[in-house]
Structure 1
């Protein structure tokens, strides 16, 4: 199978250099490497003019709109590989990354997406821990990530993480990341709606913790600064998560989800109970997070409610169903 690697980048040339060197070192060479660069990103353009790609089949694509969604959609429009593997510019895939990804797709035609573990390094220290529960959306709306902590064997999941996710090109040829995602850079939870649309169409998404990238979270140049509370970034993240879940759930589940979100919530999207729990330790910060959470939930609901389904660019009806492209029964342990 032909492998395309898609890398959105913005103002992180040193990180991008490490990423490209890791792609060069793959045991299974990529047949296409797409780097999507903002038109105003002079730092990256200068780096790429001086970078020697060697035998790397590098293609530079320009994007004129801020945000990871626009960058990825621009990249997807020129993909030629049978598999498109997406990673971040601040990640370095392990040498067997593409080989293991191809093996998973080769073994099962019902699998549309494959993800793996991102080994996060903070201050040159690997973030330790392990989890057997990865990439799941619980019936009432709580999203469990843990992609950086996954251990064990391959398993079916609901959502993958943007730094390490691959898709069967034929199944997503008419699908694009949702332009309704809020934010001007990272657009947190952009993967959620994309993955859940595939899940809703009957496809299988799997996670294999042996498919690894090293992830060195770098500086962001938007409102989301990592590990710091920023009201707009918080609102945007909650909006995006809310929109993705409302699109995926049934009408009854949506009622359950909204009720749970308002009255319970999580540490990243506070409901009433979470606010009361964090209030003693965080004080006014907990209150600011709670107000931002409520606003994000409301805005996400409004976006979902007001959207004209007949004019969606992100339209799940266009996704080929599993039955349309394959009659092969899934066995995630193959």
Structure 2
């Protein structure tokens, strides 16, 4: 069936710029390709905010438009001064970075490998998991990794990103296992920022980081970033801590979480919405936490009929078993969003059915989730309805600063509906996926090893 295409009115390419507000602002002007920009402001490398601006021939106009960012300088300086001191190398834990790939995007994978080579971290290995069932005779992967220090590869022939990640965990040597995707570019301080949160708070089991767009050159990329917030509808610029909230009812225990900033609770919401604060493109786990939850569900994720949800199921599993998640915005990666509209439609279809497949996985794993879901359902339905109507009407799914005239892009209704209509298909997709995983795994659909090469 041919997917429904969004209407012809499409936004123009938007330049993605990162500026350090501790330095003089660069001259940002319009050129033949870009007449607008999404500008991410940092302070000595710490992300502090974002502004959308219209570009012109006059860089002074752009500087004026960036006032919402430049006004944050004093606050950013105080934030930097209050951060814990940088840890010496000898206090940092050993780390394994796992990248599961089917080597379908050679250029992106090569850029990732180049970025990993520049990462500043003393005790790290980079583990590339080849998740192709059959490796072609003219395989390009050996050439991509040849001569790269600290990089090794293993082969996991079972399809699915969960199988690849579980194989990576089984082969990992590090105490902390970090996951990212093969279409991501990483910052040099990425691992230090993730690892420091584990050291600063021994109760933390998971640390997620900030995901920024690598480019916004196509309508699909702009739509995904603007109205879905990239991978997170709750992008924030301050470190957070997520804990399961204690509840007097044992039946619904763990189904609501608290979000804390600086020791103060700033929000409470359903544990099933934890994806607002993390995604598989930038997440890290203590090995012990992964062992406690049994790894990633082989019946969830890209490459399975369920298409997604494996990262969210792992987050929920950690919180449900009493663990803690930290969000660290200073741990930055840049993701190359889907370029084409058909690719985006496919991704959103996977988001829809993957989410309800994830819920099905949780309920089958622990029936107490039924009570938790029932308790949170009215609020969740209301939130989903408001969010969807906002997207359809051209509004943002989250609170953002007012954007300049000319940047209020109409949002294709087809994208929202494409996601919504696949929510009901998730449970059936999960059951089909689990049967397949059990047949391939010969067990309960979890765990797994890998052949080294």
1:236 maps to what in 2? 353
Task: After TM superposition, give the deviation of residue 202 of structure 1 in Å.
Answer: 0.8
Aligned counterpart in structure 1 of residue 233 of structure 2, from 140, 146, 158: 146
Report if aligned partners of 2:354, 2:426 keep a CA contact under 8 Å in 1.
yes
Tell me which of 25, 28, 32 is aligned to 2:118: 25
Separation in 2, partners of 1:8, 1:128: 26
SS in 1 for 2:139: helix
Shift of 1:5: 0.6
Instruction: Give the equivalent residue in structure 2 for 1:161.
Output: 279
Q: Deviations over 1:270-290 (max 9, x none)?
A: 8xx99x999xx9789877765
Equivalent residue for 1:196? 316
Offset of residue 115 of structure 1 = 0.8
Query: What's the counterpart of residue 246 of structure 2?
Result: none
Gap regions ≥5 residues in structure 1: 135-143, 316-334
Matched, 1:252 2:365: no
Residue 89 (str. 1) matches residue 176 (str. 2): no
- Give the alignment of 1:1-334 within 5 angstroms: 1-10=93-102, 11-37=104-130, 38-42=132-136, 45-49=139-143, 51-54=145-148, 56-123=149-216, 145-146=232-233, 149-156=235-242, 158-159=274-275, 160-173=278-291, 175-181=294-300, 184=303, 187-217=307-337, 226-228=343-345, 233=350, 236-244=353-361, 246=363, 250-256=369-375, 266=384, 291-296=421-426, 312-314=444-446
Q: State how far apart, in whole Å, the 2-side matches of 1:241 and 1:269 are.
A: 20
Q: Deviations over 1:20-69 (max 9, x none)?
A: 11111111145321101124354993242354333x21111111122211
Closer/same/farther in 2, CA of residues 20 and 290 from structure 1, 3 Å limit: closer
1:218–1:45 CA distance, 2 compared to 1 (3 A): farther
Pick the structure with greater CA Rg: 2
CA shift digits 1:168-212 (9 cap, x unpaired): 113323521012226526932211111111111111111011110
* Distance in 2 of aligned mates of 1:81 and 1:182: 24
TM-score, reference length from structure 2: 0.53
Residue range with higher mean Cα deviation, 175-184 or 238-247: 238-247
Aligned length: 288
CA distance in 2, matches of 1:26, 1:87: 14
Paired residue secondary structure (1:172)? helix
SS at match of 1:212: strand
C-alpha RMSD of matched pairs (Å): 4.4
CA shift in 2, pair 1:286/1:118, >3 Å: closer
Aligned residue for 1:138? none
- Checking the alignment, whether the CA contact within 8 Å between 1:30 and 1:98 is kept in structure 2 is no
Partner Cα separation in structure 2 for residue 86 and residue 254 of structure 1: 28
- SS at 1:228's partner residue? helix
1:108 to partner: Cα distance: 1.5
What is the CA–CA distance in structure 2 between the aligned matches of 1:31 and 1:284, rounded to whole Å? 44
TM-score calculated relative to the size of structure 1: 0.69
Residues 239 and 326 in structure 2, CA contact (< 8 A), matched pair in contact too: no
Q: Deviations over 1:78-111 (max 9, x none)?
A: 0110111111111111100111122111112111
CA contact (8 A) 2:348 2:415 kept: no
Q: Conserved in 2, the CA contact under 8 Å of 1:2 and 1:81?
A: yes
Query: SS at the partner of 1:122?
Result: coil
Structure 2's unaligned 5+ residue stretches are 1-92, 243-258, 260-273, 395-410, 448-453
